Amino acid sequence: MLNSAAYAIQDNNKNIKIQVRKSKKQPEQAFVLNPYWESYNDELLNGYISEGLENNLDIKIAQARIKESEAILGTVKAERLPQLSINPSIYPFKTISRWTGNFGSGNHLYFPLLLNWELDIFGKLSDKVKSSKIGVKISQEDLNIAKLAISSEITASYFNIVLEDALIENYKELISNLKETIKLKRQLYDGGIISYDNLYITEYELVEKQNELNKLLKQREILLHQFAVLRGISPENNTNIERTTISKLDFPFSINQNIQSDLIYNRPDVIQAELGIKKAAMDVRVARKMFLPSVNLNEMVGFENIRAGRIFNWESTVYQLGAGLLLDLYTGGYKMSYLKYNKELAIEKLHQYNNVLLNAFCEIENSLSSLKTDYNSFNEFNSAIKKSEHYYQVANVRYTNGTGNRIDELDARRQLLINQNSMYNAKICSLVDTVDIYKSLGSRIE
């Protein structure tokens, strides 16, 4: 059961506000991936997910992007520090003496050490640093999104492989059962006891079951290849993995458990969308402060002389210290357009946040609806299997006692296997639904 949280949008002349009301106010915190897969009590699955979280290439790409954003943050921080440079130069000159009229030439040598420091009086550089720090957090949430997605994909793929194993074993028995049935019916047909239609229907059923078995074998191979890629290894020669049986799989929580919708605010994509709004607001501040002047502190110390041999003498030493104010008077509308761009980007981030929330609610509602339906089907097929088992036992007793025939017993066994296949499908669908619920709630249900 899901308790929905309220959310709304107000749009008045592009003054967009998103209001989120929660039943419980939760402190802002970083996303931490909860090891929800451990609730399925399968050590093999735990090992595969640990392997995937360590080796999956999508996760490695997300980790590299964090390093990239941290490097960008380093470049922004460096703008607040003094910039030190050296600028050796030479200027040829030519003069004429006003007394003698003779020409003279030489070289004016400079060897200065320059220091430039922009004083962050208006906080322009500080706001850039804050924006870049939020950018690092956004990159970290990309990693969390990848981890949550990969873990859920590995879990769902594992369950589907277990399902394919169970279905393949049942279909092999079904085919063996049909072959024996056809053998017995052919004897009856040759003896004129049954019509050819009866034999033909069973022979065609064997062809169908054989084709379905081939499809299952193909699907299992594809799933095993994808499972290897999710774990970050080559699919070649990695299809013989250990796995549990479908009878040992159990549900991680009560189907009727009450689930609080506030948990969607722990999703990494929701956290990332919130950070996107904060970064957009900070970028608008940065764009506005571009209209303010820049105050720079300039210092120069070095040597200046017209003779190379005396360039490093104390008499050639020069020193200069000063401050300057730089205010752009005309930039062709660049600053105004840049401010407008950041305002529109902030509006986009607000819409994006609301869209993420809507999709989050949709995902959890879909997952809960699917689980309810699939679990009901699982229970119904369980009831059908009990009746099929009883029917098969009766047919077996009749055949053993001589009051029934082998064909009826084989038919009863086939019906039991078919019901088992339906139950297996419903069980795995329900388990995959629980994985979707964990994913849609950010890996937690309480």
Whether 239 shows a pLDDT value over 90: the answer reads no
Split into its structural domains, the chain has a count of 1
Please report the pLDDT score of residue 11 as a whole number.
Answer: 42
Between residues 26 and 332, which one has the greater pLDDT? 332
Contact 217/169 with Cβ under 8 angstroms?
no
Whether 139 shows a pLDDT value over 60: the answer reads yes
- Give a yes or no: residue 329 inside a domain: no
Please report the pLDDT score of residue 61 as a whole number.
Answer: 96
Whether 5 shows a pLDDT value over 50: the answer reads no
- Give a yes or no: residue 314 inside a domain: no
pLDDT band per the 50, 70, 90 thresholds, residue 2 = very low
Q: What is the mean pLDDT of residues 41-47?
A: 96
Please report the pLDDT score of residue 321 as a whole number.
Answer: 79
- For 41-92, the DSSP string reads --HHHHHHHHHHHHH-HHHHHHHHHHHHHHHHHHHHHHTTS-EEEE--EEEE
- Give a yes or no: residue 27 inside a domain: yes
Task: State the angle between helix axes of 57-78 and 43-55 in degrees (0 to 180), rounded to the nearest 10.
Answer: 40
Q: What is the mean pLDDT of residues 341-353?
A: 96
Between residues 1 and 130, which one has the greater pLDDT? 130
Please report the pLDDT score of residue 71 as a whole number.
Answer: 96
Alpha helices for 191-301 (secondary structure H): 196-230, 268-289
pLDDT band per the 50, 70, 90 thresholds, residue 108 = low
Least confident segment among 11-25, 36-50, 248-262? 11-25
Whether 213 shows a pLDDT value over 90: the answer reads yes
Please report the pLDDT score of residue 311 as a whole number.
Answer: 64
Q: What is the mean pLDDT of residues 32-42?
A: 94
CATH number at residue 282: 1.20.1600.10
Whether 148 shows a pLDDT value over 80: the answer reads yes
Element holding 362 (H helix, E strand): helix 334-401
Partnered with residue 7 across adjacent β-strands are: 20
Phi, psi for 269 (deg, rounded to 5)? -70, -30
Across 97-253, the runs of DSSP E, i.e. the strands, are 103-119
Least confident segment among 42-51, 98-107, 207-216? 98-107
Between residues 13 and 234, which one has the greater pLDDT? 234
Please report the pLDDT score of residue 17 as a whole number.
Answer: 44
pLDDT in tens, 64-78: 999 999 999 999 999
Rounded CA-CA distance 344/286 in Å is 14
Helix (H, G, I), strand (E, B) or coil at 236: coil
**Two structure tokens written together for 425:** 């499908």
Please report the pLDDT score of residue 21 as a whole number.
Answer: 42
- The whole-model pTM stands at 0.84
Whether 314 shows a pLDDT value over 50: the answer reads yes
Please report the pLDDT score of residue 116 as a whole number.
Answer: 87
Task: Identify the DSSP state of 5.
Answer: P
Contact 53/59 with Cβ under 8 angstroms?
yes
Q: What is the mean pLDDT of residues 95-120?
A: 72
Q: What is the mean pLDDT of the chain?
A: 87
Please report the pLDDT score of residue 219 as a whole number.
Answer: 96
pLDDT band per the 50, 70, 90 thresholds, residue 8 = very low
Please report the pLDDT score of residue 89 as a whole number.
Answer: 78
Helix (H, G, I), strand (E, B) or coil at 241: coil
For the chain, what percent of residues have pLDDT higher than 70?
Answer: 86
- Give a yes or no: residue 76 inside a domain: yes
- Give a yes or no: residue 68 inside a domain: yes
Strands 15-21 and 6-12: antiparallel
Task: State the angle between helix axes of 57-78 and 124-190 in degrees (0 to 180), rounded to the nearest 10.
Answer: 170
What would you report as the CA-atom Rg of the chain, rounded to the nearest whole angstrom?
37
Helix (H, G, I), strand (E, B) or coil at 247: helix
Q: What is the mean pLDDT of residues 327-351?
A: 93
pLDDT band per the 50, 70, 90 thresholds, residue 309 = low
| Degrees, nearest 5: CA angle 407-411-417 | 145
Rounded CA-CA distance 446/414 in Å is 43
- What b/e string do you get for 35-50 counting C-beta neighbours within 10 Å, with b at 16 or more? ebbeebebeebeebbe
> 357 lies in which domain range?
2-81+120-173+183-192+210-294+337-440
Place of tokens 């220091």: 115
- Give a yes or no: residue 169 inside a domain: yes
- Give a yes or no: residue 393 inside a domain: yes
Contact 69/136 with Cβ under 8 angstroms?
yes
- Cα dihedral across residues 184, 187, 192, 195: positive or negative: positive
- Give a yes or no: residue 124 inside a domain: yes
Whether 308 shows a pLDDT value over 80: the answer reads no
